[in-house]
């Protein structure tokens, strides 16, 4: 029984450790080159299209939220008069 568990453990460990290296390539050096390049672009926008899109969506939501907050404060500051 113990030998069977040991064999299963070794097979599982072997397939997991070799599967990782065969299916994924290391892209870290490419990313390091991209992010360390001095081209005047801020770091948070160097991820190209996805970072730019995420940044713009965040700014639109932020401005919309601020406008909504100011609107709600104005409505709370000037309550409607009762007749």
Q: How many CA atoms lie within 13 A of 74 on its CB side?
A: 6
In tens digits, the chain (83 residues) has pLDDT values of 767 767 777 776 665 555 555 567 888 898 888 888 888 888 888 888 888 899 999 999 999 999 999 999 999 998 888 87
Residues 6+ apart with CB under 8 A from 45: 51, 52, 55
Question: Residue 79: left (phi > 0), alpha (psi -120 to 50), or beta?
Answer: beta
> How do the domains of the chain map onto residue ranges?
2-77
Residues 6+ apart with CB under 8 A from 68: none
The model carries a pTM of 0.53
CATH number of 2-77: 4.10.91.10
């Amino acid at each position: 029984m113990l030998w069977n568990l040991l064999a299963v453990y070794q097979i599982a460990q072997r397939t997991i450790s070799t599967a990782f290296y065969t299916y994924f390539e290391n892209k870290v050096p490419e990313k390091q080159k991209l992010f360390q390049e001095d081209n005047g672009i801020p770091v948070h926008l160097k991820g190209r299209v996805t970072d730019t899109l995420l940044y713009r969506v965040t700014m639109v939501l932020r401005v919309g939220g601020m406008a909504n907050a100011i609107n709600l404060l104005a409505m709370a500051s000037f309550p409607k008069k009762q007749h």
